[in-house]
Structure 1
Amino acid sequence: MPTSPLPRKWPAVAERGMGRGLAALFAASEEGEPARQELRELAVELIEPNPKQPRRDFDEGALQGLAGSLAERGVLQPVLVRPRHGGTYELVAGERRWRAAKLAGLATVPALVRERDDAQALELALIENMAREDLNPVEEARACAALVEELGLTREEIGRRVGRSRVAVSNLLRLLDLPDEALGAMQRGDLSEGHGRALLLADDHAARRRLARDAAEGGWSVRVLEQRAREAGTGVTARAASPKGGTHVPHPDQEAAAAEIAHTLSAALGREVRVRPRREGYTVELTVDGPEDAATVARYHPRSPGAISSVG
C-alpha cells in the first residue's frame, strides 16, 4: 500500500532542456524563406487568439504576475501575428503576453506582422508552445498530434523541430491513449508524464481510470504505479504459461525481480516494457512503431540482435 496519505502535485513537465528562444524557432521553421515582416504597435482588441492553439489552460496567478510586470515595464518582446480579414490579426505566438497585456489594461502591444498560410501559422504556434517549459504533458502530446495530423510530420521531424528525440515524441503521443480522467489529472499536475506512461501498462481503460484516481489520491510514485498497472493487466502477479505446458505460479522473489527488470528496461529504452516470470527466466514484451524504431531498440543489445523475441 502507498505510504503517502496526501496527494502531491507533480511538475507539469519533465526536465528536458528544450528552451531555444523564439528567434531560433522562427529560423528553424523558415529555412530558405525570405523575411516578410513588419514591427507595429497594434491595439490589443484587434488581435484574436489562434483557434488551433493547443494550449487551453493559462495559470491565472502567473498571468496576474506577468500583467503586473507589463503594467510597470511594458511589453518588451513583441507577439507574432498574421493579418486577417476586416483589419484584425491572429496570434501565431505570444498568447500569454497578449492575455497579460489585456489584464494590465494596456491599449496596444508591439507585434511582428507576417504573412503566413495556415500550415505555417499552425506549425510555428505548435513549435513555440512545445518549447516552453510550463506546458503540461497533455498539451505537449496534443501539439505533437496536431503536427502529425495537420502537417503530416513524422515523429523524427517533430523531434528535430522541438529538440526532443523521436522516442520522446512517440511516448508523448501514446499518452493520448489514456482515458480523459487520467489526462485531466496530468493537466492539473496531480500526475506526471511518468505516471501517464506507467498507466499505459494496464490493459484496459477501466483499470487505467481506477489506477489514475488511486495514484492521484494516494500520492503514488511512478514506480508504485508501474507495479500496480502490471498487476491490473497480465502482469507479474498473473499465472505465467510454462513452456512445458500448464501454468507457473511465480515466487514472490521472482515477481519482485520481474518488476525491477521492467522498471530498468523502461527507463533505459524510454518506453513501456512488460516483464513476465516464466518457469525458466522471463519474457520481455515491448511496443515498437516500426522497423526504424525496432533498430533503435536493438542497438541496446548489439551482440545479440535477435534477443528481443516479442514485439508488438
Structure 2
Amino acid sequence: MAKATKKQALGRGLSALLKDNSSDINSANDKNADKVVGSIIEIELELIDINPYQPRSYFNEEALRELASSIKELGVIQPITVRKLDGNKFQLVSGERRFRASKLIGNKTIPAYIRLANDQEMLEMALVENIQRKDLDPIEVALSYQRLIDEIDLTQEEMSQRVGKKRSTITNYLRLLKLDPIIQTGMRDTFISMGHGRALINVENTEDQLSIYEKIVQQKLSVRQTEQLVKQFKSGANPVLKSPAKKITTPKYVNKGLKTFSEYFGHKIDVKLSGDDKGKIIIPFHSEEDFNRIKKLLE
C-alpha cells in the first residue's frame, strides 16, 4: 500500500512540474528534464495533439469500439507514448487507437510515457511502429516504406535494418505502388490480396491491369489462377484481355489548374484521365484531421 501511495504522489509531482510553463523542457539538457523524460504519468487528453506524421489513415470503427469497451472495463494496460512540446502540451508518438478509444468512452486522462523527439524522429518512429503492426493492409505498409525513403532519406538497405525486414520484402511492397489506384484501393478493401497485386505488377499497361483485376473480382480467382491468367496474357494466349495502348495527353487547362488545386488543398492533386475532356480529380488525405480540413474547404 505504501508503494502505491508513493507512486501516486510522484505522479502528482510530475503533473505539477509539467504545468509550470516557466520550466519548458525541449532537450535532455533542460532543467528537470531528467525528472520528466522517461516517466509515465496520467495526462489530460485535451493536452495531447494528434501526431501529424501518423501514416495510418483509417481506423476501423468497430475495432475502436471494442477497444473502448476493453479500456472501460480494464483501463489502459499499455501507456501511449508522447513527446513534450512547448508549455503544457504534448503530441502523440504512438498509441492513437488507445487515445481515440479513451476519448470515445469519455475518459479525461490517459497514462503516457514521455520522451523528447524532433520532427524527423517523430516521423520515423511513427512509420517504423506502423510497419510493425499486424493489421495493416499491404498498401499502408508500402506507403510507409515509401515515406521512409522520401522523407527520412533512408536507402532500402538502411530501412531493412531499421524495420527488421528483408530488402526483397521491402522491394515487393514498394512495387505495389506502381499498380493503378483502383487496384490499390481493391487491395486495401480486401477484394484482392497482395499475391494478386504482385501478379498484376507484371502487366505494364494500366488498362490491361484493370481488365484483369475486374476478371479476378468477378470470378473470384485465386492467386495461382491470376498468375496463370497474367502469364497467358503476356504470351498472347488470351487476346480477349488485350487492349490497344491508348495514350491520353493531359490537356493544358488541366495542367494549369492542377497547380491552383494543389495550392488550395495543401496537397499534390492528381487527375486520372479516361478520355477526351473526361477524368477524375484525386484529392489525397493523410489522417482523419486532414480529411476534415479538406472537407471544410469544400463546404
More displaced stretch, 96-105 vs 45-54: 45-54
Residue 157 (str. 1) matches residue 152 (str. 2): no
Q: Alpha-carbon deviations, 1:213-236, whole Å to 9, x = none? A: 33223221111112222334x336
Residues 32-43 of structure 1: pairs in structure 2 closer than 5 A: 36-43=37-44
Taking a change above 3 Å as real, the CA distance of residues 85 and 216 of structure 1, as seen in their structure-2 partners, is farther
Contact 2:53–2:122, Cα closer than 8 Å, also in 1: no
Residue 199 (str. 1) matches residue 200 (str. 2): yes
Amino acid at match of 1:40: I
* Residue in 2 that maps onto 1:65: 66
CA distance in 2, matches of 1:236, 1:227: 12
CA distance in 2, matches of 1:228, 1:87: 59
Taking a change above 3 Å as real, the CA distance of residues 213 and 92 of structure 1, as seen in their structure-2 partners, is farther
Cα offset for 1:118?
Answer: 1.0
Q: Alpha-carbon deviations, 1:67-111, whole Å to 9, x = none? A: 100011110111111123463322111111111111122111111
CA distance in 1, matches of 2:214, 2:93: 36
Contact 2:83–2:116, Cα closer than 8 Å, also in 1: yes
Taking a change above 3 Å as real, the CA distance of residues 50 and 216 of structure 1, as seen in their structure-2 partners, is farther
Residue 237 (str. 1) matches residue 237 (str. 2): yes
Contact 1:185–1:216, Cα closer than 8 Å, also in 2: no
Cα offset for 1:116?
Answer: 0.4
Cα offset for 1:123?
Answer: 1.0
CA distance in 2, matches of 1:235, 1:155: 32
CA distance in 2, matches of 1:97, 1:164: 26
* Residue in 2 that maps onto 1:123: 124
TM-score by length of 2: 0.64
Q: Alpha-carbon deviations, 1:103-156, whole Å to 9, x = none? A: 122111111121101111111111111111001100000010011111111212
CA distance in 1, matches of 2:125, 2:59: 19
Residue 79 (str. 1) matches residue 80 (str. 2): yes
* Residue in 2 that maps onto 1:110: 111
Amino acid at match of 2:213: A
CA distance in 2, matches of 1:125, 1:143: 9
The SS at the match of 1:81 is strand
CA distance in 2, matches of 1:236, 1:135: 36
Contact 1:201–1:226, Cα closer than 8 Å, also in 2: no
CA distance in 2, matches of 1:178, 1:236: 21
Unaligned runs of 5+ in 2: 1-32, 240-299
Residues 39-58 of structure 1: pairs in structure 2 closer than 5 A: 39-58=40-59
Taking a change above 3 Å as real, the CA distance of residues 214 and 88 of structure 1, as seen in their structure-2 partners, is farther
CA distance in 2, matches of 1:213, 1:236: 19
CA distance in 2, matches of 1:166, 1:96: 29
CA distance in 2, matches of 1:157, 1:205: 31
Contact 1:80–1:93, Cα closer than 8 Å, also in 2: yes
Residues 119-198 of structure 1: pairs in structure 2 closer than 5 A: 119-198=120-199
In terms of fraction of residues, the more helix-rich structure is 2
Taking a change above 3 Å as real, the CA distance of residues 223 and 236 of structure 1, as seen in their structure-2 partners, is farther
Contact 1:79–1:111, Cα closer than 8 Å, also in 2: yes
CA distance in 1, matches of 2:212, 2:48: 43
The SS at the match of 1:87 is coil
Amino acid at match of 2:222: S
Taking a change above 3 Å as real, the CA distance of residues 67 and 210 of structure 1, as seen in their structure-2 partners, is same
* Residue in 1 that maps onto 2:252: none
Residue 101 (str. 1) matches residue 65 (str. 2): no
C-alpha RMSD over aligned residues: 2.1
Identity of aligned residues (%): 40
* Residue in 2 that maps onto 1:283: none
TM-score by length of 1: 0.62
The SS at the match of 2:235 is coil
CA distance in 2, matches of 1:170, 1:118: 26
CA distance in 2, matches of 1:144, 1:73: 35
Taking a change above 3 Å as real, the CA distance of residues 189 and 82 of structure 1, as seen in their structure-2 partners, is same
Q: Which has the higher contact order (CA 8 A, sep 6+)?
A: 1
CA distance in 2, matches of 1:186, 1:141: 12
CA distance in 2, matches of 1:44, 1:210: 48
Unaligned runs of 5+ in 1: 1-33, 240-312
Consecutive aligned runs of 4 or more in structure 1 exceeding 6 Å deviation: none
* Residue in 2 that maps onto 1:263: none
Amino acid at match of 1:196: G
